[in-house]
Structure 1
Amino acid sequence: MPHAARPTVTLHDVAAAAGVSVATASRVLSGSARKVAPEYEARVLAAAAALRYTVDAAARAMRRASDAIALVADDLTTPSMGMVVSAMEREARTAGAFVTVSATMGAPERQSETVRVLRSLRPRALVVTSNRYLAGEVDVRLVKELRAFEREGGRVVIVGETDMTFDSIGFDNFRVGLTMGTFVAEIGHRRVAIFAGAGNLRNLGDRTAGFTAGLCAGGVDERDIRVVQCEVGRRGGFDSARSLAEAGMDGVEAVLAVNDIVAVGALAGFRAAGVSVPGDVSVTGVDDIPLAYDVTPRLTTVALPLAQAGAEAIRIVLGEAGTGRRMSVDGHLVIRDSTRPRPRPRP
């Protein structure tokens, strides 16, 4: 049975989605010499990409490269990504550019399709952020689209660990985990649960491996480390904490969460179950989002330079072309109220 044809997207549709006049949308997509305010231009380009405005039509209309820098991200709802995007936009505006944003939820087909559509709109550069670039699992179509974009004169930078040979800014997530695992062992905890999130995310997997290495180096028996897979969000931390509490805690003295949002959920889950933090159990996170300071108790975490990474990504794509330069940034331990030393009994 034949599939119904996809409805044609018109200039009127793009204008309506962007909340601008048809004339404004036309000026943006036609490369008109008449200037359009940057925020309106960004809205038109984003609407055209979201609606899959016909590539051929867009290609005919776009006679010049824009001043847009397009961000292709996994998930725009996380506070950590909000910090990256805000820093990118501030840095871009100082250079007379602006940032458009698309979310793909890490789905390979959506990543490659988004880059394909953005190519037709001719942004100045692409910044791709993702935690799913695992060795041997990079989608070939995405690499081809990014390479084609470079051949057309665009710049590409990846924010996150990647095996692709583009300029990149990564976080040393193993060292991040090692730092926290070592600290938790040093303050006397010997039975530990790791709220590890989903198993398919490279950054979280590296943090979990680092937690384990740091704990073991500090004297924790690997048999006393429980790794709990959970949703990467507040609900995942909440449910995991409640389940642990309902099972009697099984001697667990500390919970290491792979990010602050999971840790915040764990704080709420333990509170709902009547488990005291840090009296009964210490809880830690990673990222140091603003909420980490505002919750009660304030969260011990590893602070990552998220804003620095976002700003540096813009500086890279606006600078001279590189040849697969790789930059790695480290975090630092921030000790607050959600952890406390646990004295060990003397032999």
Structure 2
Amino acid sequence: MKILVTGGAGFIGSAVVRLAIQRGHTVVNVDALTYAACLENVASVAAHPNYAFEHVDICDLAALETVFARHTPDAVMHLAAESHVDRSIDGPGAFIETNVTGTYNMLQAARGYWEGSGRPEAFRFHHISTDEVYGTLGKTGLFTEDTPYAPNSPYSASKAASDHLVRAWGETYGLPYVLTNCSNNYGPYHFPEKLVPVVILNALAGKPIPIYGAGENIRDWLFVEDHADALLHVLANGVSGRNYNVGGENEVKNIDLVKMICSILDELRPSNSLYSSLITHVTDRPGHDMRYAIDPTRIRTELGWRPSVTLEQGLRKTVEWYLNNESWWRALQDRDGVGVRLGTKA
């Protein structure tokens, strides 16, 4: 299968690209190479004969149409997005432009290509989204595919809008699509502004490890390589016009997650004191959702997929990767906003 992957130089996108190439697919990686992208993420497959890269912004419809015509993909996996909640608080415009307008352009380019190719039934537009579109949960309950949308941040609102656009293009124009909403990802190549790498890198540097509020917020953590496997599985086996929630089945409080990472670092890179002594509580994020948790029944029962990595296993793999790849993360630490508290302008 020839797959056009948007955002393939990003965190989740690059995991999809690497795994797709490994499994024998042909991949066209479309990426604008904005601040969070890094071609080093796909360096291991860059010379592969089944890999091609297109330096294209999804907000450029004409350029997208050229890419579709040049490469004639069998499917699209649309991952390109602005995704950092704190950045969306400070500058929501970029999120509307990329996540909403960019998705509109992708749908229009894909639709034109699909219609021009005779509307093949096997074509799929796979839109990758987030569980944050559902808003926040209380102490009980789980997100299902039928949970009403109730986004609380500019980021999640922009992703909710993009989800609705995809569904509308399916209903109105017949464009074959599948849609997935995932829980929080973590793993190798995670951009250094997100929680798990912030904890690892601040600990290694002996800097305070910031925890928003009391650290009681709960997330369902999904190892990025498991997520890539799920996405390729849905692309191949998902029912057209259906959405699937992808969860890690690893619900944990932020404070407990941070302590787990510190404990692994204590073992693998011992310091003069416990890394947990660096934990520092800071002012909470505006509109911070309390809890996310996914009910994975549909993807498990209909498609036979479930995660293969426990949180403990995944965190250990992640910490080991950061310890062994210092040159990768050091090169990114000077990028705009990295290491600076964002999301305080509300």
TM over 0.5: no
TM-score under structure 1 length normalisation? 0.38
Larger Rg: 1
TM-score for the superposition, normalised by structure 2: 0.38
